[in-house]
Chain A
Amino acid sequence: MMRMIRKTGAVLRLIAMFNKELLMSSVTVLREVLRPRLNIRPGIIKLDTELRSDFEITLLSILICLTPGTLTLDVSGDGKTLYIHAMDINDPDELAAQIKGSFERAIMEVTR
């Protein structure tokens, strides 16, 4: 019973966090699109994920795709690395750490 309550809380937290990310990154992308001169630095970054099962990795890549500004390009054959196309990269490591810190952790709380 306690476990079920904890899981429900984790799912709700994941949904809330996704909505927050969705709003924030939407505003960023809209601003970039409306700027008179394009000032973006797109690129492809590597994300080493700690998630293992197919379900977890699928969930992570769907959430990354749904968030504007980032797009999952491919998953390596062993499922350990995600290649993400990002619209504006300031610091590649920081971006990867941000995705790991938010989505990956929240997904782990749901599935484990």
Chain B
Amino acid sequence: MSLEMMEQIIEVVFAILILLGAVIAVISVLGLIRLPDVYLRSHAATKSATLGVLLILLGAFFYTWFVHDFFSIKLLLGILFVFITSPVAGHLNARAAYRSGVALWKGSVRDDFREAIKQERQLEIEEIKNRN
């Protein structure tokens, strides 16, 4: 196998990696539209931000490394920062939604959090009463 052919194959493999990431991003947008409530939608949003972005950036990283012979730290840092920020955003969105009273979808089977919130509110009320 000649060197040129090898390069061609490597290029195609990384192109497929990037394409796969793009497809996953598209599917998760579909999930964002289809899923019924804010919590399930944030599942779809976090998924595109992890696997989709991971595949696209990894594909770009390997492409610039093998084809252009350039080891791009920026792309790796991009993955790192997405992995740090996207879970925090998802967590805070869902937490704010629950605490401001957005109801779960009617098909939900279980809610362990409601009791905890109730107790917390109760404690807060008692504390305020004690202070006065």
Tell me which residues across on chain A come within 8 A of B88, comparing CB atoms. Answer: 62, 65
Chain A interface residue count, CB cutoff 8 Å, equals: 36
Residue of B nearest to A90 (CB): B109
Tell me which residues across on chain B come within 8 A of A81, comparing CB atoms. Answer: 116
A45: contacting residue among B30, B34, B110, CB under 8 A: B110
On whether the beta carbons of A38 and B36 are closer than 8 Å, the reply is yes
A65: contacting residue among B31, B40, B46, CB under 8 A: B46
Size bracket of the B interface: 35 or more
Q: A residues engaging B (CB < 8 A)?
A: 22-23, 26, 29-30, 33-34, 38, 40-46, 61-69, 71-74, 76-77, 81, 83, 85, 87, 89, 92
Tell me which residues across on chain B come within 8 A of A64, comparing CB atoms. Answer: 87
Taking the closest CB of chain B, its distance from the CB of A90, in whole angstroms, is 10
Stretch at the interface among B6-14, B59-67, B68-76, B90-98: B90-98
Q: Roughly how many angstroms separate A99 CA and B112 CA in the complex, as a whole number?
A: 17
Residue of A nearest to B49 (CB): A66
Q: Roughly how many angstroms separate A43 CA and B27 CA in the complex, as a whole number?
A: 22
Residue of A nearest to B115 (CB): A46
Q: Roughly how many angstroms separate A81 CA and B117 CA in the complex, as a whole number?
A: 13
Known: A26-B24, A71-B42. A41 touches B109 (CB 8 A): yes
A30: contacting residue among B27, B90, B110, CB under 8 A: B27
A-B contact pairs, 22 of them (CB 8 A): A26-B24, A29-B31, A30-B24, A33-B28, A34-B27, A40-B40, A42-B109, A43-B110, A44-B110, A45-B112, A46-B112, A46-B116, A61-B87, A62-B87, A65-B86, A65-B87, A67-B50, A73-B39, A73-B94, A73-B98, A77-B120, A89-B109
